[in-house]
Structure 1
Amino acid sequence: MSWKECYYEDKVLGRILLRRSAKARYVSLRIKGGEVILTLPLWANESAGLSFLRSKYDWIKERLSLSEQSDRRNFVFDEESQFSTLTFDVKIVRAACDDFGFRFTNGLLTVSCPASLDIRLPRYQDIIRMGIERVMRSEAVRVLPARLATFAKQFGFSYKRVSIRSSQSRWGSCSSSGTISLSFYMMLLPEHLVDYVLLHELCHTREMNHSASFWALMREVTGGKSDLWRKEIKEYHTNF
């Protein structure tokens, strides 16, 4: 057959992505982002591939169930979704276009999506997320260092420099040399938790540990709210 990639409507599983690959040596199945992908070698008969697919129904259903459970933990962007960051809102619109477009003005990021696409598919969700992340990073560069400097002046802290990073494992860090690193994913936090992270790292410029002295300093600069905010940020999930 001449096709390299097409969709097949299965009566049990719904839409299946069929691929032909010159590198494939045998018929194979995989689940990626909730999508079932059946790969066939160039020499393989399509009916044989679909027969293999049907023989794996139970395995596929189990994997799809696990994938759906994972997807529920992530925010899904579509026309009905409401998503906000520290400095801007996100609006998803359908448009007569061939590609995704991103327009950021006056605190609103408008994401234009081709009307013909099922944007809930993981591949398109990734495109939307990457566009949002680009704006989040630029906004983090604009907002976070200035806010950090304001707190440093207010409470008499000093630091060497600040850098904006893409860490998803920690909101911020402070090196022994006085460099404060902040994740641009902080833009997903509510304002008071952003302040908590900034003050936390500033306190580390004096106390490079989590001793009693450190937490006493945190209580001082947060007006006694640090214990509450500490618990809140530990339990906070962005679902992004």
Structure 2
Amino acid sequence: MIPLPRMLTRGLKERREPAAPRTLAVGDRDLPVIVRRLRTARRITLRLAPDGSEARISMPEWGRTADALRFAEQRRDWLAAQLARIPPPVRIEPGCTLAYRGTTLRVEWRNTAPRRPALQGETLVLGGPQDGMEARLRRWLEAEALRLCAADLAHYCERAGQAVPRLALSRALRRWGSCSSRGVIRINWRLIMAPDHVRRSVVAHEVAHMTHFDHSPAFHAHLDDLYEAEIEDANRWLKREGRLLYHPFG
């Protein structure tokens, strides 16, 4: 048998034996670690996934993986503190509560009520099979998000002198909004659970990108003209409370 060249055998071995997942011991659990090399990154940064499922490291393309992993190891205490802030899973059942536009709604199930949830003051009333409550409540929240974001989008496009683009909801785990080069604006549906000024700040941010597709001083000046409130207040709220919007819906 003619042996394969060393380079080819190394490639075959790599395909047969993929690298083991990286984990970091944090408290009493092994936390998966995802390393991403980004062309635009200038330094190593560490984030915890909103649902606490993994630690995410971003690093420059030229960086060393070993340095990135050491960076995470040195921040075990920070990761542990962030994990401790994540509330335990909430069961969607009669009597539970949901965040809605910065307030708290109590979910009430009634045998005689329609399947579709209906808002009655600070109570969300619905009927139908109880084992399908979570899906129906999520659809209701998404419909509310689309309704309110559409109104926000029309408002800020009018202020910016832009035609209203196509709007879509996002289920992203990393971004609150995006504006594509094709003119589609996506807003994370979970913002329906945040206060109105927070949701509106994200919509205004993406509308500003229709004029300035970057984060230049001109972009920020344009955003300040569009958005009626203090953008930094909304940004601080998202940084402080944003992770909670992923509960109880993952």
Give me the TM-score of the superposition, normalised by structure 2: 0.52
Task: Give the structure 1 partner of residue 124 of structure 2.
Answer: 109
Matches for 1:173-188 after TM superposition, within 5 Å: 173-188=178-193
Residue 77 of structure 1 corresponds to 92
- Give, in whole Å, the separation in 2 of the partners of 1:192 and 1:150: 13
Could you tell me which runs of 5 or more consecutive residues in structure 1 were left unpaired when the two chains were aligned.
1-68
Q: Cα distance, 1:94 vs. partner?
A: 6.8
2:97 is equivalent to residue 92 of structure 1: no
Task: Tell me by how many angstroms 1:80 deviates.
Answer: 4.1
2:156–2:226 Cα contact (<8 Å) kept: no
| Structure 2 residue identity aligned to 1:104 | P
For 2:116, give the aligned amino acid: R
Query: Percent identity over the alignment?
Result: 22
Alpha-carbon distance between aligned partners in 1 of 2:141 and 2:100, rounded to the nearest angstrom: 8
Residue 210 and residue 157 in structure 1: after superposition, are their counterparts in 2 closer, same or farther (change >3 A)?
Answer: same
Could you tell me how far apart the structure 1 residues matched to 2:194 and 2:128 are? 26
Among 126, 150, 155, which residue is 1:150 paired with? 155
Change (3 A) 1:233 1:88: closer
Could you tell me which residue of structure 1 aligns to residue 133 of structure 2? 128
**What is residue 197 of structure 2 aligned with on the other side?**
192
- CA offset at residue 202 of structure 1? 0.4
Secondary structure in 2 matching 1:102: coil
Paired amino acid for 1:75: V
Structure 1 residues 94, 70: CA separation in 2 closer, same or farther (over 3 Å shift)? farther
SS in 2 for 1:73: coil
The structure-2 alpha-carbon separation of the partners of 1:71 and 1:185, relative to structure 1 and needing over 3 Å to count, comes to closer
SS, match of residue 208 in structure 1:
coil
How far did residue 174 of structure 1 move?
0.1
**8 Å contact from structure 1 (residues 103, 109) kept in 2:** no
Q: Cα offset for 1:211?
A: 1.8
Structure-1-length-normalised TM-score: 0.54
Q: CA deviation at 1:198?
A: 0.7
Q: Is the 8 A contact 2:159 2:226 kept in 1?
A: no
Which amino acid counterpart does residue 91 of structure 1 have in structure 2? V
- CA gap of 1:220–1:130, structure 2 versus 1, over 3 A, is same
Distance 1:178 1:106 in 2: 33
Displacement of 1:189 in angstroms is 1.4
- Equivalent of 1:160 in 162, 165, 168: 165
Give the secondary structure class of the aligned counterpart of 1:235.
helix
Letter in 1 for 2:100: T
Where does residue 221 of structure 2 map in the other structure?
216
**Superposed displacement of residue 88, structure 1:** 9.4
Q: Alpha-carbon deviation of 1:167?
A: 2.8
CA contact (8 A) 1:102 1:109 kept: no
Structure 2 gaps, min length 5? 1-83
**Larger Rg: 1 or 2?**
1
* Structure 1 position 232, deviation (Å): 1.5
The amino acid across from 1:230 in the alignment is N
